Amino acid sequence: MAELYTLTFSAVAPGASVTKGILYLPAASTQPLRVVSLDISMDGSTSATFWPLFEWQIWSGAFTAPTGGTAITANKGNGEAQGKTALTTGAKKGTFTAEITGGSNFTTKSKYLPTGAALPYQWPLGREGIYVPGSAALYLRVTTPASFAQNIAVDAEIEE
Q: pLDDT tens digits for the chain (160 residues)?
A: 588 888 887 778 888 899 999 999 999 888 898 888 888 888 866 665 678 899 999 999 999 999 998 888 887 777 776 777 777 778 888 888 899 999 999 888 888 888 777 777 775 555 577 889 999 999 999 998 888 888 888 888 888 8
Residue 124 has what pLDDT?
55
The residues pairing with 75 across neighbouring beta strands, listed in sequence order, are: 6
Rounded CA separation 146/157 (Å) = 31
In the chain, DSSP assigns E strands to 4-12, 19-26, 33-42, 53-64, 70-71, 75-76, 92-93, 101-112, 118-122, 130-132, 137-143, 152-159
Rounded CA separation 151/10 (Å) = 8
Domain that holds residue 124: 4-159
Return the DSSP state at 78.
S
CB distance 76 to 120 below 8 Å: no
* Domain of residue 70, CATH code: 2.60.120
Rounded CA separation 140/160 (Å) = 19
In the chain, the number of structural domains is: 1
Between strands 92-93 and 19-26, the pairing is antiparallel
Task: Give the Cβ contact number of residue 7 at 10 Å.
Answer: 23
Residues present in the chain in total: 160
Rounded CA separation 136/86 (Å) = 16
Residue 82 has what pLDDT?
75
Residue 114 has what pLDDT?
80
To 10 degrees, the CA torsion angle through 99, 23, 152, 125? 140
Rounded CA separation 14/154 (Å) = 13
- Residue 80's identity, in one-letter code, is E
pTM score of the predicted model: 0.85
